[in-house]
Structure formats: C-alpha cells, structure tokens
A = this chain, B = another copy of it.
C-alpha cells in the first residue's frame, strides 16, 4: 500500500479493494464484505475491515489463530464461546484460539468491524452436527447462531 489512504464515505478507502468475504459456497455466510486495510510483510498481522449488511452474518467457525476486533460502525451482536455480546461503535472483542464465534448485524443496521489477525494462520473449521448439538444445548445460543 502507499503510505496514506484517504477515508471515503461509507467505510471505503481510496486504493483498497472491496473483496468477497469468502469464496461463494465455501462456508455459510450472508451479506458480508472484506477489505484489507493494512497488510504487508513489514507487519506480523493484518488489519481487515468486515462489513455485514443489515440482517447478515459471518460464518460460525473456530480455528487456532486469535482475532482482535474493534467495531467501527453500526450495531449487531457476536457469539464468543458460549457468550453473546451486543455490539456498538468502538466495542472491543477478543476471540481466543479454538473458540466458536459468529458476528451478526442487527435487522435494521449494518455492522462494520476491524479484525486484527496474524498474517500466518490456519484455516477456519466449521461445526459438525455434534458441535452444533453442543452449542444448541444453550437456548440463547441456539436462537443466535445461523448455519
């Protein structure tokens, strides 16, 4: 990237490509985009911006690598392990290794968040039917997750 990237309206940046969240059909998700804001070999992490449109959600998944998340815009909620947290601007979320997590935008608002992640990382794992049974043992989690 060049040394200065101007912010444009609507959480876009001059010179940053708007990317698919994941390849279509590779995992369950709905109405979410990805932008890599900071990512080159001078830093050991990447800073990505994900934006979920109203009513959309990220993939329910877990992996060995951790996430550090800061909400930049809108509102929604997230599942981290067995906990559900409502999310608003500048809230912080830590996703520890091997912890089930999913982000959802509110029905009437987008949810935009920064996600810091190691450049070198493993691939996410999707829940098995047995994992889903375990998660759904908690009625609040059962009502929250989208698969």
Which residues of A line the B interface, CB within 8 A? Answer: 1-7, 11, 13, 16, 37-38, 40, 42-45, 47, 65-66, 68, 70-72, 80-81, 83, 85, 88-97, 99, 114, 116-119
Interface centre among A81, A116, A119, by most B CB within 10 Å? A116
Contact B43 A3 (CB under 8 A): no
- In whole angstroms, how far apart are the Cα atoms of A38 and B70 in the complex? 9
Contact B13 A94 (CB under 8 A): no
A-B contact pairs, 30 of them (CB 8 A): A3-B93, A3-B95, A4-B80, A4-B83, A4-B85, A4-B91, A5-B93, A6-B91, A7-B88, A7-B89, A7-B90, A7-B92, A13-B90, A37-B70, A38-B68, A38-B70, A38-B94, A38-B116, A40-B66, A40-B94, A42-B65, A42-B66, A42-B96, A43-B68, A43-B118, A47-B68, A70-B114, A72-B90, A114-B114, A116-B116
